[in-house]
Amino acid sequence: MPSKFSFKAHVKEYCSKCTFAGLHYIADETKHWIERFFWIVLVILSWYGSVLLIHAAWDAFVKSPISFGVETTYLDWETNLPAVAICDNKAKANKYKIYNAAAKIWPSNYSYDLDDVLEDIAYFRGQAYSLLKECLSENRNYLCPVSNYSYYASLIRSNCPQMLANCSYNNESFDCCEYFQLIETDIGHCFIINSIQTKKLRPYKMVNDITNKRGVLRFKVFTASMVYTLEVDEVPNIATLISSTLKIILGRMYRREITLKNIENHPLVGETALDKRACRFYHENEDGLYPHYSYSACNVRCRKLAQLETCQCNDHFMPNTTDEERCNVTGMACLHNHFAHLTTLKPKWAQRPGLSCDCLPSCNETEINIVQEVNQAIRPKVSKEAHVEIALSYLPTERFKRNVVRGRLDLVVSVGGTAGLFVGASLLSFVELIFFFTVRLVNNIWMERRKQDNNVHRIKSF
């Protein structure tokens, strides 16, 4: 084959005519050999750098395919007031319920130390000093309860009509106990509105938008209690953050102003692997204690499993627990002794006592921020009730957006500005060189065969 069809000739011709940075300097024989060698080194390094950048971009795309952005087109949004829960709380104002229950259970000459035992049972939070002192000793009171603690708690804990009245939203009244639904938690039964975790869904429309900016929920409380402002999928639990709670004392008025910031998910987020998006959707609730997945619901399940593993029983408030699984007095002693481990959450790397639960956040989580809290005495003073207001301070002006990353390979071009363009172009030049050489080679072979056929035809004609 003639030298002009050789591989070296093709490479030299391509390099001298291409416009990619560096290559035509290599093929230019008028340049000094040192300069040409310098350009050879630069091009090789650029190709090597391209490979590293592409590999890094692809690795980042595979391991972190989710990105967060912020949207500000708030005029089109609808903002729902969060879930609001109310639970009985251990307080002096609730002592009368313990005395009334004790009078029904035991004869009139019972030991008053048993009142403290009932209080430990009704408001159990992982510790029960009086219960163990009075009921676990060798000379314990024969009236002391040693099992069936859920029954004793039910005699003391308040029902909805005993706790709530005069509910309204934006001055429109509604039936409190129709919408504040019963929910079982690891701190006893509570009543919650606008939650998706109740067995019977009965949401009340509390929607705010650009045409209805005001959102104020009001109600009266008749027992010392704890009010929780939570996301619609979260549940009150022993590890709920203090910032989400509001301790209610009778005779006072409470007003909490909040702001909300939601997360919108791209449709493809649900198709992304769980370990890549690092969150769970509501339906991803395998073996859950509640109808839907949430971070707090997962932690409650984690505590339940830890109690079973540590003490072979669960406390009487734990949801979805059978009578056989509930602790007697010796089981309660075990829970009490492991209080620090069973009631505290910790990261995996922490050395302190606590549970390290493998719980991911919800993909639909809502950020709730407290703008202002007002706590003042009612005028005129009324010691048998408290007034509570939960208000949306203002409409959110932004929300988070969870997206599936596309075009991460563009980093090859974009990273480093001009350097990235040089690197990407150099790599493309290598691909184009192969394509150019292949086309020219095929064309030369075809021309050579045609020339041979013409020679044969001439010889035959001669």
User: What pLDDT score does 61 carry?
Assistant: 66
* Residues 88/223, Cβ–Cβ less than 8 Å: yes
User: What pLDDT score does 399 carry?
Assistant: 83
Residue 190 reports pLDDT greater than 60: yes
Q: Are residues 320 and 278 located together in one domain of the fold?
A: yes
pLDDT band at 1, cuts 50/70/90? very low
Which residue, 404, 429, 452, sits at the end of a domain?
Answer: 404
**Other CB atoms within 10 A of residue 341 CB:** 16
User: What pLDDT score does 66 carry?
Assistant: 77
Residue 413 reports pLDDT greater than 70: no
Residue 420 reports pLDDT greater than 60: no
User: What pLDDT score does 409 carry?
Assistant: 40
Q: Which residue has the higher pLDDT, 154 or 28?
A: 154
Nearest Cα residue to 123 out of 96, 89, 94, 155? 89
Q: Are residues 80 and 53 located together in one domain of the fold?
A: no
pTM here? 0.76
Q: Are residues 370 and 328 located together in one domain of the fold?
A: yes
**Other CB atoms within 10 A of residue 78 CB:** 11
Residue 44 reports pLDDT greater than 70: yes
As a whole number, mean pLDDT of residues 442-461 equals 60
Instruction: Summarize pLDDT for 355-376 with one digit per residue, the tens.
Output: 999 899 999 888 899 999 999 9
* 351, two tokens: 């050395």
CA–CA distance from 164 to each of 31, 97, 109, 178 (Å)? 91, 16, 34, 11
Residue 213 reports pLDDT greater than 60: yes
User: What pLDDT score does 390 carry?
Assistant: 95
Q: What average pLDDT does the structure give for the chain?
A: 83
User: What pLDDT score does 110 carry?
Assistant: 83
Q: Are residues 154 and 279 located together in one domain of the fold?
A: yes
pLDDT band at 49, cuts 50/70/90? confident
Q: Which residue has the higher pLDDT, 61 or 290?
A: 290
User: What pLDDT score does 151 carry?
Assistant: 93
Tell me which residue range forms the domain holding 51.
3-64+409-461
Residue 280 reports pLDDT greater than 60: yes
User: What pLDDT score does 23 carry?
Assistant: 65
Instruction: Summarize pLDDT for 68-77 with one digit per residue, the tens.
Output: 778 777 667 7
Q: Are residues 112 and 181 located together in one domain of the fold?
A: yes
Most confident range, picked from 111-125, 296-310, 417-431: 296-310
Q: Are residues 166 and 201 located together in one domain of the fold?
A: yes
User: What pLDDT score does 408 carry?
Assistant: 41
Residue position matching structure tokens 């109808």: 291
Percent of the chain whose pLDDT exceeds 90: 44
Q: Are residues 38 and 93 located together in one domain of the fold?
A: no
User: What pLDDT score does 5 carry?
Assistant: 55
Residue 207 reports pLDDT greater than 80: yes
User: What pLDDT score does 445 carry?
Assistant: 66
CA angle, residues 329, 334, 340, in degrees to nearest 5? 135
User: What pLDDT score does 412 carry?
Assistant: 39
Q: Are residues 442 and 397 located together in one domain of the fold?
A: no
Q: Are residues 209 and 119 located together in one domain of the fold?
A: yes
As a whole number, mean pLDDT of residues 107-130 equals 90
Mean pLDDT is lowest, of 196-210, 229-243, 375-389, 402-416, for: 402-416
* Residues 60/408, Cβ–Cβ less than 8 Å: yes
Q: Are residues 41 and 88 located together in one domain of the fold?
A: no
Q: Are residues 59 and 114 located together in one domain of the fold?
A: no
As a whole number, mean pLDDT of residues 392-414 equals 68
As for how many domains the chain has, the answer is: 2
As a whole number, mean pLDDT of residues 148-176 equals 94
Q: Are residues 414 and 377 located together in one domain of the fold?
A: no
Amino acid identity, residue 388? Answer: V
Query: What is the spatial distance between Cα 408 and Cα 414, in angstroms, rounded to a whole number?
Result: 10
Which residue, 383, 404, 425, sits at the end of a domain?
Answer: 404
> How buried is residue 333: exposed, middle or buried, by Cβ count under 10 Å (0-12/13-18/19+)?
middle
User: What pLDDT score does 236 carry?
Assistant: 95
Percent of the chain whose pLDDT exceeds 70: 79
Strand arrangement of the beta sheet that strand 188-193 belongs to? 181-185, 188-193, 83-88, 225-230, 245-248
Residue 175 reports pLDDT greater than 60: yes
